[in-house]
Structure 1
Amino acid sequence: MVKIVELKTNRSLIKTNFDGYKLSLESVPVIKVDLEINQHPYVRKIPVDQYSFLHTELFSLQNFLVQDPWNREHSYFVGGDGSLIYCASYKESTGRPSPLKVVYKFSEQQTPELTRYNFSFKFISEKYCVLCDGFNMLQLFDTSDRYKVTEWKLLSSHKINENFEGFVLKDARLDVFDGKKVINCAFQHIEKCGSKNINQIHWGKLFEKPEQTENVWSWKLEDVLLGSDLIHYCAFEPKSASIVICSNKNITFQSNESKEKEENEKEDSKEKHVETKEDSNEINNNYEWSQSEDDVVISFKDVEYENKNNLKVICTDKTISVLHYDEYLLNKQNLCQQIDPELTTWAIENGSLQITLMKKDCTMWPYLMENDSKVTQDTAQNLEMDNKPTVNLETPLEDCDVAFNSDDEYYIYRINLELKEVTHQVPLGNNPPLFSTVLRPGFPAAIATRTDVDASLWLQHYNPLKPEEWALRHEGNLHAFGYVQASKQQKKYVDCAPDMGYSVISEPFRHVFIYKSKYETANNLRNRNGPQISLGKQSLITLDSNSEVLGMSCGINFITLLSEKCLLFIQLNKLNN
């Protein structure tokens, strides 16, 4: 049974007297480093045949500047027409960037023309890095001492999946079991199924084989997770027994769907031996139906039901069949929305058959089945009420409070990879996560959600001795940032400092907004006849370069921006005053 987990805020992290941000007119130092032509970041534009919203999100929001969590002064990107990996360094001690260094050069066989998506990589330890070439190749590197920025060594290279092309690395995690290293990897792939595109997460493992001198690492694709909408967050938990995914649609395993398909085919073959009346797929109109937010009740009245043994009700998550003797009252009719077939019940009351279906989503249905014009009397009224905004006289709604698609409900799913089922579920309401960021090296990425006007950061709290007690721990708060970011319509990258001392929003062109929760020169302010208030500091940076921002990384006292033609280092030391 899925356990519902509630996000419990730590009241000590919330600043109740915070009264917003004050714009500072102080200049913020920005160091610009122009890139040579062979140093320009390699970015593959979205192809003509990949035109869906999923493709647009995947290509446009990818961060091409990857920061080293173990040494935040170093950030890396792929340049040189997709043939080189560069290291961009900023020394906080001197306040100056170091010259770009090439840490790895790809072979001539791996040309950019072969790539379908862009390069993506992730540092999984102080020594290892996992890279996906955007086509079908997984590569593991020994990065040696990254503090000295030495040349990387390729340890192994494997094809992710022989049957698919085009992958982006979503997460990778290194664990050690019985002295042997195991690397779990999750790759995103967008596959066209009929008239729509779906998200696929290909999950596999890299195994270390220390007894061999060559081909020390072996790759095994374990399974494929399927989702029909955006994947807002994807990270393995410690020890990689489960994977945590945030989406507004259910996540299923491809292997489970194959089993269900085989079972349905067997059931279909059995039903072929049952004689049915002609035109059995037509809807029997001798029924009435009613609904609430939780369930649907179907009643058949014009047929005598003296014995329930002569009745058979078969339900899946989207269809219903009702068999009376050898005649179908309903035969595999497609329902309006999904139901939970395990909770379906039926009974005979006063000579009539009543079937109760439990909805998966607590929404009102405009109709019961496809090609059916029957609508309950209260359905239209309920639908009109659903479209009306909730009235709150104390805190009126503003434009930035309304979600992009208010009909969507977002959830964080904790999925057990061995059992292949969801064990924990965190409801987020109508607002998707704001962003995710790595606060500590070696830990899963923290996820930021909107809590009233604030942005709360949550870390996975995992106890290997009691895995059923999994939860999300409130790690920190960005005061009023949830409200601030909702008002930015042109935002591209959103992040915060590792110590959560500041948050930053970067637009694709020209502007960068920095928000620091403490404004030292604005202390001891009070509202008229009120208590003392606290103000934050907002800094606006206008970039001289007209090229698009392609990546961003945050340190304690600096921000690194990667654009099409230059690197920008924003110095934040003065903001601490």
Structure 2
Amino acid sequence: MAVSNYSLKVNRQLLDPSFESYRLSLEPIPIYNVELDAAVAEVKLKDSQYTLDHVRAFGMYNYLHIDPWYEDSVFFVDCKGRVLNLTVTLDTALGKPIEVFHMPSDPTVCEERLCASLSFTSATWASLSDGAGRLYLLRTSMRRENCSLKWEPLFSEEMGEPFTILHSISHVQAGVHSMEVLLLRIQKDPSSDSDAKGSGYSVSLEWITVSNTSNNACTCILKRKMLRGKSVPHYAALEPQGKGLMVASEKPFVFTHVDGALLEQPAAHAMEVESSADPIYFWQQTIEDITVSVRMPEGITKDDVLFKLSMENVSVGVQGFAPLLEGQLHAPVDPEASAWIIKDEKSLEVTLQKRSEGPMWPELLTGGDGRGEFLMSEEQTALLHERLTCLTTEDMNANPDMGKPPCNAQELEDCDGFPEDSSNLTRFDGESLKPTHVVNLGSHQYLFTVDLNPSEMPSFCLRHDVDALLWQPRPDQPSNMWEHIATFNALGYVQASKRDKKFATCPPNFSYAALGECLRRVFIYRQPSPVDTVLFNRMQGRQVGQVAKQQVASLESNNIVLGFRATNERLFVLTSNNLFVLKINN
């Protein structure tokens, strides 16, 4: 199955180019405090868990879990191994959290244990990890009608090394009830060398399918599929019916094992060209157009050429072979004004007309491509040298009186380098285990993941310029697999200034976005709403019809925030000894 490169299509109708700023509102936010009988089962990172991936996966873990089927119902695990539930019906009459399940095993005996994790598989099922390597599948009954009813474990099995649960789903086909669970592990790479580049750890995602033929017992694990990569995914979720998997990460993932058997990784069928060590293509540019010269097998004819060009993507190759040049262009071009021609029967010259004249492209393809090389004209080279003359010197240290020596490149660490692989969003087919759709996220910073509709996959939020855009995966729409469904104005810019930010989220109705710091403070950014009085912008001399409000709440606790979840009416904040309920909307 061929991989298709896609781009996220922004819905311009959901953008507000006239948005000015948030106005600080002094209206108090009602805060209700529930004191916990036992502390939350927080697991702190050990000295051996020193990598950035460990911090992202476990150090920033959200210990509070919300039930997407039943609003205003949250769950967490305490240090006694109890799964506790708090369901809010009246804010002024909050009760104590109710125990719904108690883990029979003691996970604290495991030295390498992780935080316990919970995922709601369906309206009547849940999956639970004890953090020590054991997976539970629990029948919960209808949780809203029986919120105090104890959950019944119908599957409990050791799954190897400790893991956390990223996502789970449930479906019934031909009378067989199946549950798909996605597990995350960070493992020491046995093939790593202490002198080799990298952290020495690898990230694995395990996709487990458990099925039963009756409603009384989960009988067996049908399939275990393993993926490996070099970075913790920002987003990973299973499609309904288990038809596919979507992963967004800085480093690519690939399926390596199925039921313990190693999968063969076929080498890419590359085109044979002269001196394969040299760049496959060269490109130059002016303020008006781009010229790309692609090396081809000798004796090529126009009937052999496979050329596809759209406003944002290009693909150049030979019939029956993998493309030599393929990907998303750095900026839009005019396909009708572009053309290609064969030169000397061994190269293809492509001329791309820029839609916006003037800006020079820093790269031909978004994310870069190591198979090509940029050639600068003599005029451009001379102009560049002239501009840099005032910034250069022949002395190694132009100012020897400075207290600090110049930067030594040998002292740079891995985190100082530019990442070799750009962040991608990849969709894998559940049958072939091959990627079918790839989106290069480029500079779009990942912000958060949120469950909006239990019948759909989790949504994810990305930064686009200064805004934050919410995207909903639509696996049943191959031509528009990721839909832009909401925009939080200027949130991308605002959140970047919060140096102590730990969590971010939004409710299903998109009425506000919330940012939570490590300690105490919570920021609420509401969508623009009509004002009751007449306001004028004195700078522009126009009437202001809507105002977006910002509110700040301070929690009466000095403990670190461990959990952060939002509903349409409330925001839940969990610390080690308290659960705070903030009344956001009436």
The normalised TM-score by structure 2 is: 0.72
How does 1:73-92 map onto structure 2 within 5 Å? 73-81=72-80, 83-91=81-89
**Could you give the per-residue CA deviations for residues 7-57 of structure 1, whole angstroms, max 9, x where no partner exists?**
222333223332221001122221122223xx2100111122222111111
**Contact 2:107–2:132 (Cα < 8 Å) also in 1:** no
Q: Indicate yes or no: 2:6 matched with 1:10.
A: no
1:227-306 mapped onto 2 (5 Å cutoff): 227-255=229-257, 258-260=262-264, 292=282
- Residue in 2 aligned with 1:24? 25
Which whole-Å CA distance do the structure 2 matches of 1:48 and 1:404 have between them? 24
| Residue pair 2:21, 2:548 contacting (<8 A) in 1 also | yes
Match in the other structure for 2:209: 205
Query: Quick one: distance in 2 between partners of 1:442 and 1:262?
Result: 36
Structure 2 equivalent of residue 174 of structure 1: 170
Q: Which residue type is aligned with residue 480 of structure 1?
A: A
Q: Is the 2:508–2:568 contact (alpha carbons within 8 Å) kept by the matching residues of 1?
A: yes
Asked if the contact 2:367–2:440 (Cα under 8 Å) also holds between the matched residues in 1, the reply is no
Q: What per-residue deviation string (whole Å, max 9, x for no partner) do you get for residues 388-444 of structure 1?
A: 9xxxxxxxxxxxxxx996875222111102111110112221233211101112321
Q: Residue 530 of structure 2 contacts residue 545 of structure 2 at CA under 8 Å; is this kept in 1?
A: no
Query: Given residue 410 of structure 1, which amino acid in structure 2 is its aligned partner?
Result: S
* Alignment-mate amino acid for residue 565 of structure 1: N
CA 1:519–1:377: 2 relative to 1, 3 Å: closer
Corresponding position of 2:405: none
**Of 430, 453, 456, the match for 1:417:** 430
Map 1:492-531 to 2 at 5 A. Answer: 492-521=502-531, 524-527=534-537, 528-530=540-542
1:510 and 1:538 map into 2 onto residues whose CA distance is 17
Equivalent position amino acid for 2:559 in 1: S
Post-superposition shift, 1:145? Answer: 3.3
Mapped to 2, the partners of 1:288 and 1:473 lie a distance apart of 40
- Aligned 8 A contact 1:453 1:481 in 2: yes
- 1:494 Cα shift? 0.3
**Amino acid in the other structure paired with 1:2:** V
Map 1:451-462 onto structure 2 (within 5 A).
Answer: 451-462=464-475
1:363 and 2:363 are equivalent in the alignment: no
* 1:471-501 C-alpha deviation (Å, 9 max, x unpaired): 1122222222222112222111100111111
Give the secondary-structure state (helix, strand or coil) at the position aligned to 1:492.
strand
Residue in 1 aligned with 2:184?
Answer: 188
Q: Deviations over 1:328-348 (max 9, x none)?
A: xxxxxxxxxxxxx94569xxx
Cα deviations by residue, 1:136-191 (Å, 9 ceiling, x for unpaired): 2111111123223211111111233xxx4121111111111112211111101112
Distance 1:263 1:288 in 2: 20
Write the mapping of 1:125-204 to structure 2, written as runs, cut at 5 A. Answer: 125-147=122-144, 148-160=147-159, 164-193=160-189, 194-195=192-193, 196-204=200-208
Task: Identify unmatched segments of 5+ residues in structure 1.
Answer: 265-284, 300-304, 306-340, 369-374, 389-402
- What per-residue deviation string (whole Å, max 9, x for no partner) do you get for residues 436-466 of structure 1? 1011123211111123322121112233xxx
Q: 1:226 to 1:296 in 2, by over 3 A?
A: farther
**Do 1:292 and 1:364's aligned partners in 2 also have CA atoms closer than 8 Å?**
no
**Paired position in structure 1 for 2:497:** 487
The change in CA–CA distance for 1:523 and 1:54 in structure 2 (over 3 A counts) is farther
What is the CA-CA distance between 1:70 and the residue it aligns to? 1.4
- The answer to whether the 8 Å contact 2:127/2:136 transfers is yes
The 1:536–1:406 alpha-carbon spacing in structure 2 relative to 1, beyond 3 Å, is farther
Cα displacement (A) at 1:117: 1.2
CA distance in 2, matches of 1:63, 1:258: 33
Tell me the C-alpha RMSD between the 2 structures. Answer: 4.0
User: Structure 1's 541 and 216: CA in aligned 2 closer, same or farther, altered over 3 A?
Assistant: closer
Kept in 1, the 8 Å contact 2:7–2:440? The answer is: yes
CA–CA distance in 2 between the matches of 1:64 and 1:210? 33
| Rounded Cα–Cα distance in structure 1 between residues aligned with 2:91 and 2:564 | 21
Corresponding position: 1:60 with 2:59: yes
State the alpha-carbon separation in 1 of the partners of residues 283 and 495 from structure 2. 33
**CA–CA distance in structure 1, aligned partners of residues 572 and 500 of structure 2:** 19
Deviation at 1:129, TM superposition (A): 0.5
**Contact 1:249–1:410 (8 Å) recurs in 2:** yes
Q: Deviations over 1:320-364 (max 9, x none)?
A: xxxxxxxxxxxxxxxxxxxxx94569xxx99xx99xxxx998537
Alignment of 1:306-455 (within 5 A): 342-343=322-323, 363=368, 409-455=422-468
1:231-260 Cα distance to aligned partner (Å, 9 max, x none): 000111122211011012222110499454
Q: Compared with structure 1, are the counterparts of its residues 239 and 548 closer, same or farther at alpha carbon in structure 2 (3 Å cutoff)? A: same
Q: What is the CA–CA distance in structure 2 between the aligned matches of 1:137 and 1:492, rounded to whole Å?
A: 28
Quote the Cα distance in structure 1 between the aligned partners of 2:135 and 2:42. Answer: 19
Whole-Å separation in 1 of the counterparts to 2:279 and 2:16: 51
Distance 1:405 1:173, change over 3 A: farther
Unaligned runs of 5+ in 2: 194-199, 269-274, 285-291, 299-320, 326-342, 348-363, 388-415
Alignment partners' CA distance in 2, 1:486 and 1:362 = 22
Asked whether 1:117 is paired with 2:127, we answer no
Partners of 2:547 and 2:419 in 1: how far apart? 32
CA distance in 1, matches of 2:549, 2:420: 35
Q: Across the two proteins, how many residue pairs are aligned to each other?
A: 476
Would the aligned equivalents of 2:32 and 2:91 in 1 still touch at CA under 8 Å?
Answer: no
Contact 1:143 1:152 in 2 (8 A): yes
Q: Which amino acid aligns with 2:68?
A: P
Q: What SS class does the counterpart of residue 559 from structure 2 fall into? A: coil
Q: Please show how residues 528-567 of structure 1 align to structure 2 within 5 Å.
A: 528-530=540-542, 532=544, 534-567=546-579
The amino acid across from 1:534 in the alignment is Q
Counterpart Cα distance in 1 of 2:419 and 2:547: 32
Q: Following the alignment from structure 1 to structure 2, what is the Cα–Cα distance between the partners of residues 428 and 289?
A: 25
- Give the Cα separation in 1 of the matches to 2:283 and 2:584: 51
Does the 8 Å contact 1:291/1:364 carry over to 2? no
Q: 1:188 to 1:544 in 2, by over 3 A?
A: same
Contact 1:238/1:444 (8 A) holds in 2: yes
What CA distance in whole angstroms lies between the structure 2 residues aligned with 1:422 and 1:243?
Answer: 9
